[in-house]
Amino acid sequence: MYLFLMTNGMIEGFEKENVMKKTTVLILSAVVTVLLGALGYYIFLPALNVFSQGFWVFLLALTLIFAAAYFALSAPQTMKRLLGGGIATRSKKQTRGEMPRGITGKIILIIAAIPVAVLLVGNLISSTFLNATKYSNIISVTEAVFEEDMPESDLVTNIPLMDSESANIIGNRTLGALSEVVSQYQVNGTYSQINYGGVPRKVSNLEYVDFFKWINNRQSGIPGFVMVDPVNSSAEYIKFEVPMKYVDSAYFGDDLNRKLRFSYPTKIFGSCMFELDEAGKPYYIVSCMEPQVGLFGGMDVTEVIIFNPCDGTSQLYALEETPSWIDNVFTGTLASEKYDWYGTLKNGFWNSVIGNKDCKVTTDDYGYIVLGDDIWFFTGVTSVSSDESNIGFIISNARTGEYKFYPVIGAEEYSAMGAAQGEVQEKDYVASFPSLINVSGEATYIMVLKDANGIVKMHALVNVENYSIVATGVSQSDAKQAYVELLRQEGIIEAEDAPTVPEESVAEVKNLLVRDVQFITVEGNSIIYIKGYDGNLYKQKIAEDESLLFIQSSVSLDIRYHETETNGIRQIVSWNYHVYEEGEGKG
């Protein structure tokens, strides 16, 4: 009897000890999970939002961390029980309050299955297969008249023809001339397209080169940014009045994304774009997304955060209340994706897969146009079954998300780019993605041609309806004049239909003393260049006014002209020999 009681007491002691050890293991596993989870949150910054797939992945990761910690800490105890045999395994009864063996693992498995199930079911109920109509109704598209919305202008100053790759090259070259800046900073590779003072500009802030540069310059912050003129292919470095503290390239609490996440832990962030307000002060414009279909589908912008990177303050706006000076709320990629939903799914999912009746999609890239105070994305629209022609094109407002469709039928952008490159194939130039302009009522692609180093060398215009009509020129004016001449030769426009220069853009210089006269042939056209003692060049095609051949140096002229996109070179509208009035000296 004594031996039995002693043995039973030992068993109960072992079981109580096992309960205490399991409780300790659970507590330690929870501590490890909390610590690693906090570190993971600090690094990966997931949105604490059930509509974010990243949130459920984060929960699954926490569960797996707990499971790994629990089984790792339980391993010695499990091994001891397996090797101990006899006394430890004699009784099949459980101590009061002790969970049956294996139940903890089952609970962990069930908890881990929850986020997996949510991700699987959430993606299913959010799929285009089940929600084709909802996806197609996310946007509405208004059909508009091309000639009315895009009137003809003499020079294209509202379209940034230069792409971000070329902007980056020019920006780096500009920064490279500033030795005190380039040794500590570099230009951020991402350029934001903005409307600044009514003209298109590309801007990119400086960033720290590496961790040690951040340590050395943290107190002084980011001193300035690079502004690129994508029309005239020029750039300048501009210094901030107050340096920026919170940027992508900073670390720990100064990291832009970390600052945003800690300020808005539940928001699902979309794009984060660097911009300037009307006073030239820097801000980051952060779009906040919400699903429009099911649990995760049809992500679209519903709110906007305006973040001040100098002092870390911010404001949250509903989309419709976004201030008008902001240009970038939506991205061109999102704008194209939403139109593709609209264009392919409005007649049902299976039609988008099999029948393709009335299915249309955007082309693979997009450009920019400035209309009024806003930036608009431009991209062609083609039938799903067509590869070489467009049935029209769309523009989408980068701030409001508004869409307009123009039924302009013709060559798609890449065919036009190929035609422009073929015109100067011996130079191996590469065309940028084009935009659309109105030339004498003709829808026309306009683009720049770049050399192997990404430097803009020429301009090209290609007729949308007939992309065999191609004109190139060193300057935009030269290319446009050559293009208009081709339209005349093809009988598309009459001479009187040729574009005229708006009177308000014409200026006049009187008594210009001619310093030098030169005749240059450009793209088969003879052009006179008149250099005046005022330091400017005045040019005109000989074919448009043969009397220009009589102009010689040292004569005085009265010239009416308009500015070109190249500073210091002026396009002649009309001219006369200067007639001296009584009392006016000749010089």
pLDDT digits (tens, 9 = 90+) for 154-188: 667 777 777 777 888 888 888 777 767 878 899 98
Residue corresponding to tokens 């994305």 = 377
Place 520 in a pLDDT band, splitting at 50, 70 and 90.
confident
Chain-centroid distance, C-alpha 346: 27
**482 and 455 together in one domain:** yes
Q: Which comes out higher in pLDDT, residue 573 or 543? A: 573
Q: Which comes out higher in pLDDT, residue 386 or 494? A: 494
Residues of the chain with pLDDT > 90, as a percent, come to 48
Q: Is residue 473 over pLDDT 90?
A: no
Q: Return the closest-CA partner of residue 293 out of 158, 135, 514, 427.
A: 135
Q: Which comes out higher in pLDDT, residue 503 or 161? A: 161
pLDDT at 345: 95
Instruction: Mean pLDDT check: name the lowest of 60-64, 353-357, 406-410.
Output: 353-357
Q: Is residue 244 over pLDDT 60?
A: yes
**452 and 517 together in one domain:** no
pLDDT at 150: 83
Q: Which of 329, 345, 366 is the last residue of a domain?
A: 329
Contacts of the segment 264-268: beta carbons below 8 A, 24+ positions apart: 264/288, 264/305, 264/316, 265/47, 265/48, 266/47, 266/48, 266/49, 267/47, 267/49, 267/303, 267/305, 268/47, 268/49, 268/51, 268/52, 268/299
DSSP designation for 197: T
Q: Which of 329, 355, 383 is the last residue of a domain?
A: 329
Rg of the chain over Cα atoms, rounded to whole angstroms, equals 34
Quick check: is 223 in a domain?
yes
pLDDT at 71: 87
**175 and 309 together in one domain:** yes
Q: Which comes out higher in pLDDT, residue 46 or 81? A: 46
CA distance 302 to 291: 9
Q: Return the closest-CA partner of residue 273 out of 209, 326, 207, 210.
A: 326
Annotate 522-553 with b (16+ C-beta within 10 A) or e (fewer).
bbebebbebebeeebbbbbbeeeeeebeebee
Quick check: is 381 in a domain?
yes
CA distance 204 to 225: 6
Quick check: is 334 in a domain?
yes
Place 87 in a pLDDT band, splitting at 50, 70 and 90.
very low
CA distance 304 to 474: 42
Task: Domain count for the chain, please give it.
Answer: 5
Q: Is residue 107 over pLDDT 60?
A: yes
pLDDT at 46: 97
pLDDT at 298: 96
pLDDT in tens, 485-500: 899 888 888 765 555 5
Question: Tokens in use for 404?
Answer: 């307009």
**Total-model pTM:** 0.79
Q: Which comes out higher in pLDDT, residue 15 or 255? A: 255
pLDDT at 2: 43
pLDDT at 546: 79
Q: Give the Cα-Cα-Cα angle 266, 401, 436 (nearest 5 degrees).
A: 140
Domain that residue 571 falls in: 503-577
pLDDT at 90: 44
Q: Which comes out higher in pLDDT, residue 335 or 177? A: 335
Q: Is residue 387 over pLDDT 50?
A: yes
Q: Is residue 284 over pLDDT 80?
A: yes
Which of 169-183, 210-224, 526-540: highest mean pLDDT? 210-224
Quick check: is 100 in a domain?
yes
**323 and 373 together in one domain:** no
**81 and 33 together in one domain:** yes
Antiparallel, parallel or unpaired: β 537-541 and 556-563: unpaired
For the segment 320-349, the average pLDDT, to the nearest whole number, is: 95
**425 and 364 together in one domain:** no
Residues of the chain with pLDDT > 70, as a percent, come to 87
**264 and 336 together in one domain:** no
Quick check: is 587 in a domain?
no
Place 346 in a pLDDT band, splitting at 50, 70 and 90.
very high
Place 17 in a pLDDT band, splitting at 50, 70 and 90.
low
Q: Is residue 558 over pLDDT 60?
A: yes
For the segment 563-575, the average pLDDT, to the nearest whole number, is: 80
For the segment 470-483, the average pLDDT, to the nearest whole number, is: 85
Q: Is residue 390 over pLDDT 60?
A: yes
pLDDT at 245: 97
CA distance 396 to 462: 23
Cβ-proximal residues to 578 (8 Å cutoff; 6+ apart), any chain:
510, 511, 512, 556, 557, 558
Quick check: is 187 in a domain?
yes
pLDDT in tens, 321-332: 999 999 999 999
**304 and 207 together in one domain:** yes
CATH number, domain of 513, equals: 2.40.50.140
**189 and 297 together in one domain:** yes
Tell me what the pLDDT averaged over the chain comes to.
Answer: 86
Place 88 in a pLDDT band, splitting at 50, 70 and 90.
very low
Q: Is residue 479 over pLDDT 80?
A: yes
Annotate 237-264 with b (16+ C-beta within 10 A) or e (fewer).
beebeebbbbbbbbeeebbbebbbbeeb
Question: Tokens in use for 510?
Answer: 């009187």
**25 and 45 together in one domain:** yes
For the segment 554-568, the average pLDDT, to the nearest whole number, is: 81
For the segment 102-118, the average pLDDT, to the nearest whole number, is: 88
Q: Which of 398, 421, 444 is the last residue of a domain?
A: 398
Cβ-proximal residues to 401 (8 Å cutoff; 6+ apart), any chain:
139, 300, 301, 319, 329, 330, 335
pLDDT at 91: 46
Q: Is residue 125 over pLDDT 90?
A: yes
Q: Could you tell me which residues are beta bridge partners of residue 90?
A: none
Q: Which comes out higher in pLDDT, residue 259 or 497? A: 259
**376 and 483 together in one domain:** no
**25 and 51 together in one domain:** yes
For the segment 117-124, the average pLDDT, to the nearest whole number, is: 96
pLDDT at 376: 93
Quick check: is 311 in a domain?
yes
Q: Return the closest-CA partner of residue 386 out of 368, 354, 410.
A: 410
For the segment 201-217, the average pLDDT, to the nearest whole number, is: 93
For the segment 265-275, the average pLDDT, to the nearest whole number, is: 97
Q: Give the Cα-Cα-Cα angle 145, 148, 154 (nearest 5 degrees).
A: 130
Q: Is residue 11 over pLDDT 80?
A: no
pLDDT at 403: 97
Q: Could you tell me which residues are beta bridge partners of residue 521?
A: 526
Torsion of CA 426, 171, 325, 312, to 10 degrees: 150
Question: Tokens in use for 139?
Answer: 């946007």
Instruction: Mean pLDDT check: name the lowest of 238-242, 259-263, 386-390.
Output: 386-390
Quick check: is 280 in a domain?
yes
